[in-house]
A = this chain, B = another copy of it.
Amino acid sequence: MGEVEQVPVWRLSEGDKKRVQDIVAREFPLTIILNNQELVTLLCTPSHLDYLAVGFLSSEGLLRSRDEIKKITVDEKTGVVRVDTSEEIKKADQLLFKRLITSGCGRGASFYSAADVMGQKKVESKTTLSSDEILELAREFQHRSQIFKTTGGVHSAALCDNEKILIFSEDIGRHNAIDKILGECLMQDVATNGRIILTSGRVSSEILIKAAKRNIAILVSKSAPTDMGVKLADELGITLIGFVRGKRMNVYANDWRVVDHG
């Protein structure tokens, strides 16, 4: 499936009107069915739908390891991913649905719940990195953001170690881009412990919760954090770096992981 679409457009510029072809990001409704129960419909970029579904389920606490997955089927035509899991975690569905009904779901907020924060352990990783390494990763990240360059309409995310990008993804949703990465890690057995996530998007509370669940040590964004993002990063032991632009950056929490030997 294409991730972008050509559309005819009128380009107006100082009295001039021209018919040109523009490229826009596709927006695809993906329904996730977990153990025969319809769970959610996400609007997403149609790529790596299996990773997105698995990443979403893992971020929501409904899936912990690859071993729990009995079967995944992706139907691109109908926009449905079916995930069947082992018996033990079926009960978890009930929990999610309860949350859906009692605390609802925030828009852009996933299934926001205070319980997500309260029950979350602190990230204990000893990982450190230098500001030069951060800038180098940010440069490579910028370089890889292909769909954004053509459409201006998507977010990117990446999993990195100190030297390089290990996994990269793009999606119209900033949450989806990160879930695609976390899903790929889970399905391909890529470790997330103590590693780094880069994101093009704003860093709000839910992003911190996703990261903490996978023991991510460092979050790096081109954009701004919210106050709650900063507070959670501090409490959850995650190093939060924002506004990486040119040769500058802001370190909002747990700056001890940024070590410059100069």
Contact surface of A with B, Cβ cutoff 8 Å: 4-5, 7, 9-15, 17, 22, 24-27, 29, 31-32, 38-43, 97, 100-110, 112, 114, 131, 151-153, 172-173, 175-176, 202, 204-206, 223-230, 243, 247-252, 255, 258, 260, 262
Q: Pick the contact of A100 from B29, B100, B112, B224 — CB < 8 Å?
A: B100
Q: Pick the contact of A153 from B114, B206, B225 — CB < 8 Å?
A: B225
* For the complex of A and B, 3 pairs with smallest distance between CB atoms: A40-B104, A153-B224, A27-B226
Which partner residue on chain B sits nearest A232 by CB separation? B27
Q: Name the B residues within 8 Å of A107 (CB-CB).
A: 40, 42, 105, 107-110, 173, 175-176
Which partner residue on chain B sits nearest A13 by CB separation? B248
Chain A contact residues, majority secondary structure: mixed
Contact between chains at A25 and B227 (CB < 8 Å): yes
Contact between chains at A226 and B172 (CB < 8 Å): yes
Q: Name the B residues within 8 Å of A230 (CB-CB).
A: 7, 24
Contact between chains at B7 and A103 (CB < 8 Å): no
Min distance, Cβ A195 to any Cβ of chain B, angstroms: 21
Most chain B CB within a 10 A radius of its CB, from A27, A152, A247, A250: A27
Contact between chains at B224 and A151 (CB < 8 Å): yes
Knowing A10-B251, A224-B153 touch, does A105 contact B25 (C-beta < 8 A)?
Answer: no
Min distance, Cβ A191 to any Cβ of chain B, angstroms: 26
Q: A12-B260, A27-B226, A107-B176 are in contact. List 15 more A-B contacts (CB 8 A).
A: A10-B258, A12-B258, A13-B247, A15-B260, A17-B260, A27-B205, A31-B104, A40-B107, A42-B109, A43-B106, A43-B205, A100-B104, A100-B105, A153-B224, A153-B226
Q: Name the B residues within 8 Å of A27 (CB-CB).
A: 204-205, 226-229
